[in-house]
Amino acid sequence: MNLAQGVQIVSFGLLTLMVIGASLGVVLLPNVVYAAFLLGGVFISMAGLYLLLNADFVAAAQVLIYVGAVNVLILFAIMLVNKREDFLPLKRGWIRKAATGMVCAGLFALLSTMVLTTSWNFSTGAIAGNDSIIVIAKHFFTDFLLPFELASVLLLMALVGAIILARREFIPEETDMPARDAALTLPERPRELMSVSSSSEFNR
């Protein structure tokens, strides 16, 4: 093992610990703002893993799109909404917890199977430098053009939803009318009660 391989292994271990630690912070921290910041740390750590795999374009896209757009959008939505609501106990809440646990267990089993069955042999061939960017761009704007447009529409919907949720209706507080404005208003005309005779004539 030479120096380059040792540095790569140590970097991979540090980035893996960062991803796992930040992911646990996102899930377990009660403060939503801290969880959003740790989510940005997860994205940056994933970009570092992409760099170790010589996928510079994917790493740059990870930082620009996920950290620079999605994570910032999440932070803006959290800070703009900022609604404090007490969590009320739900009826039959154990059903949701059981369903969530089953889904998480299934995803963990699927990912574990994928990790164990995948061949992780290092490639000894030549690394395509800028050619990988050309190949990704061709597939990105031909085969995967529809998912790209759908993702942009979903981001736009999320932005509009954050603006709608953050909008607060301005309701002016009732204050005493100034003396000048009160002088300009006319007093209300007293309402006269109808007599019994006039009401009977009206009914005719």
Q: Give pLDDT tens digits for 43-54.
A: 999 999 988 888
Q: What is the DSSP string of 63-106?
A: IIIIIIIIIHHHHHHHHHH----PPPPPTTHHHHHHHHHHHHHH
* Residue 39 buriedness (CB in 10 A; 0-12 / 13-18 / 19+): buried
Of 42-56, 86-100, 142-156, minimum mean pLDDT range: 86-100
pLDDT of residue 14: 92
**Residue 133 pLDDT > 80:** no
pLDDT of residue 69: 76
**Residue 102 pLDDT > 90:** yes
pLDDT more than 70, % of the chain: 71
**Residue 17 pLDDT > 90:** yes
User: How is residue 58 written in tokens?
Assistant: 């994917």
CB–CB of 90/96 below 8 Å? yes
Report which of residues 93 and 16 the model is more confident about: 16
For 54-67, what is the mean pLDDT?
Answer: 84
Question: Under DSSP, is residue 185 helix (H, G, I), strand (E, B) or coil?
Answer: coil
Question: Under DSSP, is residue 158 helix (H, G, I), strand (E, B) or coil?
Answer: helix
Question: Which residues are CB-contacts of 83 (< 8 A; sequence separation ≥ 6)?
Answer: 165
**Residue 12 pLDDT > 80:** yes
**Residue 187 pLDDT > 70:** no
User: How is residue 165 written in tokens?
Assistant: 């949720």
Confidence of residue 70 (pLDDT cuts 50, 70, 90): confident
pLDDT of residue 204: 54
Report which of residues 179 and 145 the model is more confident about: 145
In degrees, to the nearest 5, what angle opens at C-alpha 113 toward C-alphas 111 and 116? 110
For 72-92, what is the mean pLDDT?
Answer: 69
Please give the mean pLDDT across all residues of the chain.
76
**Residue 126 pLDDT > 70:** no
CB–CB of 43/62 below 8 Å? yes
d(CA 82, CA 63): 26
CB–CB of 60/44 below 8 Å? no
pLDDT of residue 75: 76
d(CA 188, CA 186): 6
pLDDT of residue 92: 77
Instruction: State the angle between helix axes of 72-81 and 32-52 in degrees (0 to 180), rounded to the nearest 10.
Output: 180
d(CA 47, CA 37): 16
Name the residue type at position 9: I
